[in-house]
Structure 1
Amino acid sequence: MSRKRRIITLLSAVILFLFAIALPITGVVKTEFFPVSDGDALYLSIRGPVGLNLDQTDAITQEVEKRLLKTPDIVNFSTIVGNPGSTSKIGEGGLNNSNTASITIKLTDPEDRNIKAYNIADEIRQSLADIQDATITVSTPSGGPPSGKAFQAQISGENLQTLDKIANDLKPLVDSISGTVNSDISLKDAPAEYTFILDSAKMELYDLNTGIVGSTLRTAISGTSVTTVIRENKDVEVIARFAKDKIPTLDAIRNLQILNAKNQPVFIKNVATVKLTPSVGSISRINQKRTVLLTADVSGTASSTEVVKEFQKKIAEDYSLPEGYEISYGGENEQNTESVLSIIRAILCSSRFRWLLLVFSLVWLF
């Protein structure tokens, strides 16, 4: 073989090699490391409006359970309504999850049914679609380790209200993509909070400071740790707080008296105003930027990569982000991309070592 043909053959092999590597990167060849498995379990979650009590949540859950009983291929299910440690009373602390419930569904063995688990999940979603009093999601376990949601758009910016508006604007676009289910926004409403706003002028007039007022409110509402005692070889924290019957309502807190530096009693309502303000459950940050996650699962054989591409196309055609706000993508799609790139890097490194080994072998032989 002539030198020219050897060079052409070598270049052709390199080009074909690079072309093969580019196929999964460009999405021509679909990649999915851990597809949805046809297992024997489904997970159903119920989230009602903030403030829904346990009885109301339980009523919705019972309606869901009645419909599950009519679904074939379900062996049994277990239900948890609310959070046993939740509370809604002033000063008792804890997270109030009385508006949530979860159901773990046990299916028949895959060998004993002619339908996939994700198809059963689709049927359950359809049967529960008319329940408008709560958000209900049905999910199937993936075939591998946890990797986040199949679709995850990370919307970053400064203003939470703007982020919330963008996420709610884009949610219908996600829902319109074939194969997406259980779309959700990470910014959740929480029970409204009472905010005490201190008047600095009145504080000075009554000879008070924020430390004294804050300490009194903390002791009244949640208590203050004063010491630790040992009982039965265990440390027991001693909390000093007002008796519950002394502050049964917000008005009672307003009428609390504080002793100023001159030992004169001052009502809290004389130096502070109380406002009921909206609240959110949590605020996420990615790269030091406030971020709201718009997520979704994919049903059946749908590809997370294709969902991301379709979403990006819809945004380019139908939506314009405000200045200073951006969208990045994470979740399962990001991890799949990272996995593919790491494999490609490993292939390139190994190829380089093989070429070096070949060169050294030729040098040694000749």
Structure 2
Amino acid sequence: PALASLLLPRRISEREPLLLRIIKAVYVPILKQTMQYKSAVLIFGATVLFVAFGMVAPRLGSEFVPRLSEGAITLGTVRLAGTSLEESVQTNTQVEKALLAAFPDEIAHVWSRAGTAEVATDPMGVELTDIFISLKPRKGWTKATTQAELTTRVEQELRTIQGMKFAFSQPIEMRINEMLAGTRSDLAVKLFGDDLTVLKAKAEEIRKVMKDIPGVADLAVEQVIGQPVLEVRVKQDQLARYGIPARSVMELIESIGSKPMGEVVDGQFRFPLVVRLPDEWRSSPEAVGSIQLPTATGERVPLSRVADIRIIEGPSTITREWGQRRIVITCNVRGRDLGTFVAEVQHAVKAEVTMPPGRYHVAYGGQFEQLERAQTRLMIVVPVALLLIFLLLYATYGT
């Protein structure tokens, strides 16, 4: 106060700043005109808002769960059906070493999980693997600045590894997708029908349509065919020629896998007793075909003489939903919002893919399914909430 009395001028004139005087000179006449023609101004303002909303709304994107950077990456890998556990472990090790060598400043740890644990909380075959990548703090990165950019570089690095398909996600994001919709990807195009071969062919058509849509990533068709199966087709004319009962051939073929013969009792414990042919007799179609069968005359002929034996591709997995066979085309969305991407996919599939007659149809799941449900709820909840607010204001002020 003492310094203020010495330094500040004695007579202080109260004046508005020049900028404020200019604003008032423009604003006050407009305000007076607005208050004079209230109805016209309200109608004009509502019209402008309505037109602006109509122009902007179609261009607005929509997401169900915002994508966060978790500091970790998850790779879902798929190999051919029938891949052995040893081969899965070998390729997993190859992927881990390649990633640690290529990104030493970005990746802290890499570990893999294949097959089904003793407590089968997440059952899957040995040809399926989850690879978890723990990242270092971002300030020390040299080959990428964001996690999305690092994911792209990891994808490019793994393209040299043959025989595997990769789907990129994050640990929490993957589990949320799985809990919400039963799939690990952002979008799941579900194709329903009766014939597995037709489903596979149509799923491939849908995949080809989706691969050209901007924003698609990690596009893959659910692996349902590819399991090696030994097929034995009996030649009825040859069985009649040699006088061999068809039942004898069927029992022999059954023993290639295993045939139950009884039980072994050890005190209070019972163990099944099964028999099967030695490994050298069932290692290949040729070995199976060399098994000797007795004829009615006592002669012995090889199985290949009375049956066609070959390895074919059979179904590895048959999934059903609501009592129908189902195959899923999955993908993630990068660089654009989920809502407009799915709308473009729906339009392209409807225009370019013709469903066969019968019980064949397409459904869309994943996060998009939850997004549609949320939008439907909001269309009811938001108007009701606005109406309640209006009623409360009216009840409070009476006008």
Q: TM-score, normalised by structure 1?
A: 0.68
| Cα distance change, pair 221–307 in 1 and its aligned pair in 2 (3 A) | same
The Cα shift of 1:142 comes to: 4.6
State whether structure 2 residue 333 is matched by structure 1 residue 303.
no
Contact 2:106 2:138 in 1 (8 A): no
Q: What is the alpha-carbon distance in structure 1 between the residues aligned to residue 171 and residue 114 of structure 2? A: 21
Q: How does 1:163-202 map to 2 (within 5 A)?
A: 163-202=199-238
Q: How does 1:89-104 map to 2 (within 5 A)?
A: 97=126, 102-104=130-132
State whether structure 2 residue 252 is matched by structure 1 residue 208.
no
Helix, strand or coil for the counterpart of 2:354? coil
Number of the residue aligned with 1:5: none
Give ranges in structure 2 of 5+ residues lacking alignment.
Answer: 1-49, 119-123, 393-399
The Cα shift of 1:65 comes to: 2.8
The Cα shift of 1:64 comes to: 6.1
Q: Which amino acid aligns with 2:73?
A: L
Q: What is the alpha-carbon distance in structure 1 between the residues aligned to residue 257 and residue 214 of structure 2? A: 50
Contact 2:81 2:316 in 1 (8 A): no
Helix, strand or coil for the counterpart of 2:213? coil
Aligned pair count reads 325
State whether structure 2 residue 349 is matched by structure 1 residue 315.
yes
Residues 110-154 of structure 1 show CA distances to partners (whole Å, capped at 9, x for unaligned) of 798795434422221133345455323332235473332211112
Q: What is the alpha-carbon distance in structure 2 between the residues aligned to residue 170 and residue 29 of structure 1? A: 26
1:34 to 41, 46, 65: 65
The Cα shift of 1:59 comes to: 6.0
Q: What is the alpha-carbon distance in structure 2 between the residues aligned to residue 247 and residue 314 of structure 1? A: 48
State whether structure 2 residue 152 is matched by structure 1 residue 117.
no
State whether structure 2 residue 321 is matched by structure 1 residue 283.
no
Give ranges in structure 1 of 5+ residues lacking alignment.
Answer: 1-18, 86-94, 359-366
Number of the residue aligned with 2:189: 153
Q: How does 1:214-253 map to 2 (within 5 A)?
A: 214-224=250-260, 226-230=262-266, 235-253=270-288
Number of the residue aligned with 1:75: 108
The Cα shift of 1:105 comes to: 0.7
> Which one has a larger percent helix, Structure 1 or Structure 2?
2
- Greater Cα offset, 124-133 or 325-334: 124-133
Number of the residue aligned with 1:107: 135
The Cα shift of 1:262 comes to: 10
Contact 1:35 1:142 in 2 (8 A): no
2:362 to 319, 327, 330: 327
Helix, strand or coil for the counterpart of 1:330? strand
Contact 1:257 1:268 in 2 (8 A): yes
Q: Which amino acid aligns with 2:106?
A: D
Q: What is the alpha-carbon distance in structure 1 between the residues aligned to residue 383 and residue 331 of structure 2? A: 34
Residues 195-230 of structure 1 show CA distances to partners (whole Å, capped at 9, x for unaligned) of 1112345445625244x4333322233342521434
Q: Which amino acid aligns with 1:105?
A: I
- Greater Cα offset, 113-122 or 189-198: 113-122
Helix, strand or coil for the counterpart of 1:155? strand
State which structure, 1 or 2, has the greater radius of gyration over its C-alpha atoms: 2
Contact 1:64 1:128 in 2 (8 A): no
State whether structure 2 residue 167 is matched by structure 1 residue 137.
yes
Q: What is the alpha-carbon distance in structure 2 between the residues aligned to residue 254 and residue 283 of structure 1? A: 29
| Cα distance change, pair 265–274 in 1 and its aligned pair in 2 (3 A) | same
Contact 2:82 2:227 in 1 (8 A): yes
| Cα distance change, pair 207–81 in 1 and its aligned pair in 2 (3 A) | closer
State whether structure 2 residue 157 is matched by structure 1 residue 127.
yes
| Cα distance change, pair 228–342 in 1 and its aligned pair in 2 (3 A) | farther
Q: What is the alpha-carbon distance in structure 2 between the residues aligned to residue 111 and residue 159 of structure 1? A: 53
Contact 2:226 2:316 in 1 (8 A): yes
Contact 2:95 2:158 in 1 (8 A): no
Q: Could you say what the CA RMSD is over the residues aligned between the two structures, in angstroms?
A: 4.7
Contact 2:193 2:324 in 1 (8 A): yes
Q: Which amino acid aligns with 1:163?
A: L
Helix, strand or coil for the counterpart of 1:333? helix
Contact 2:231 2:310 in 1 (8 A): yes
